[in-house]
Chain A
């Protein structure tokens, strides 16, 4: 649904060149929630703004819903953007307009008539649960309500794609969860493809199907969450399940969905090994409980025990 290839963005600032994004390829499938995770300054915001060409890439192409945006002229690009929703960290609502007026704005841009606008605004506000706030000004709303208005506004043009620029970063934890739940619902009910950027692991593990980890303008790893967790040396796993630095001989096992199986006790019973649990972390990721254990295995049949664990579908990493 979104294809970014060979993306590079260089800023020129008083003669100096600053590379914000380099060699980025991104492939977001239809109907998935794709998260780009990274610290501030990693270039994820630039990447997102390149997707709807708020920033024009220095190199590379961007294709959204089959349309190559980087090949379009200004007027065509404007029309294409009307079909790409975007929500913002600080909501970016117009304080001179009511809630209904804000949601009507993109409809005015699209040139819809007054009656049709009113009908569509009512529909959208109903969808985000703010039907009773239509005539209120944004200043009188809470952060979570403001973001709901932002979401309603972003959906005005029936977009197939929603871009989310740190949409929950300015919200408290409880409100964040309710906005994430709303995004998930819209994703399921409308088949909306969502590309979001965030620095919060919580966002990734709550709603994302796929994730790309970004650092210094490059994507370090990307894929579906189960794929990444099953990949040795995964940064996602390391960040999702923080464990102390391993010493030589330590074994780290990562599991997704097999948390119910008593693998450790099975290993101890089947093989002549002793197991020391040094650390562990467990998380609900995309609705599946996943986790990591740091173990010290000693004994005659250590190698056989490790093979057994790997055969059970666990990712086994040995530190040297």
Chain B
């Protein structure tokens, strides 16, 4: 394999990984953020206390969290087919990736929101703020550094999940490593894949840290 061919492969598959990660991150936030908020506000002493709902949500999140991603991915293939029309290809992996990462992110959101001091919530109540206002203007903005840190961890996890998704036909760097590194003993390509992954994770983590620090400094 020439360097040109290798570069071409790496470029294409990195692009696919990026697509998987970006889209699934988007849907993970759309699903996981409300879920995490719901876990906090429905808890005892929360803004909208509902013990039953809280238990149901916690159960859903725990089920999602207790399945290793590689098993979850296979288990939801019928659902993936239902939503995307196929279980193969980069776009189709967004379904299992989102389902795998959303409960994880929801727990991180929950932790970040619980860090917000109760006195701030109480002060907002004393000012006559409605409960929705408190969620939108107190809880979420005050938890922002923690939310960004949680998102960073989630994106890194998604990169790792996306590599697994590659093994069942999702494309991307995982697919590349299996097909060339594992099945064809292309050691150079394997090493290059590893390097690209390390660089991507470093970039994501550094970006996340910088943003979180900038918000927290205020």
Contact = CB atoms under 8 A, between A and B. Distances in A.
B43 to A, nearest CB: 16
**Which of A52, A92, A157 has the most chain B CB atoms inside 10 A of its CB?**
A92
B1 interface: no
B218 A106 contact: no
Nearest to B138: A94
A96 B125 contact: no
Contact of B128 (A49, A78, A88): A78
Contacts of A108: 137
Interface string B92-136: 000000000000000000000000010110111111111001000
Interface string A105-139: 11011100000000000000000000000000101
B130 A139 contact: no
A92 B122 CA distance: 8
B122 A54 contact: yes
B141 interface: yes
Interface of A: 49, 52, 54, 77-82, 84, 86, 88-90, 92-98, 105-106, 108-110, 137, 139, 153, 156-157, 163
B123 A78 contact: no
B136 to A, nearest CB: 11
**Which of A78, A82, A110 has the most chain B CB atoms inside 10 A of its CB?**
A78
Given A86-B123, A95-B142, A105-B129, 15 more contacts: A49-B122, A54-B126, A77-B128, A81-B127, A86-B127, A89-B119, A90-B117, A92-B120, A94-B138, A96-B215, A98-B218, A105-B127, A109-B130, A110-B128, A157-B128
14 contacts: A54-B125, A78-B128, A78-B129, A82-B127, A86-B123, A90-B119, A96-B141, A96-B144, A96-B215, A96-B218, A97-B141, A105-B124, A108-B137, A110-B128
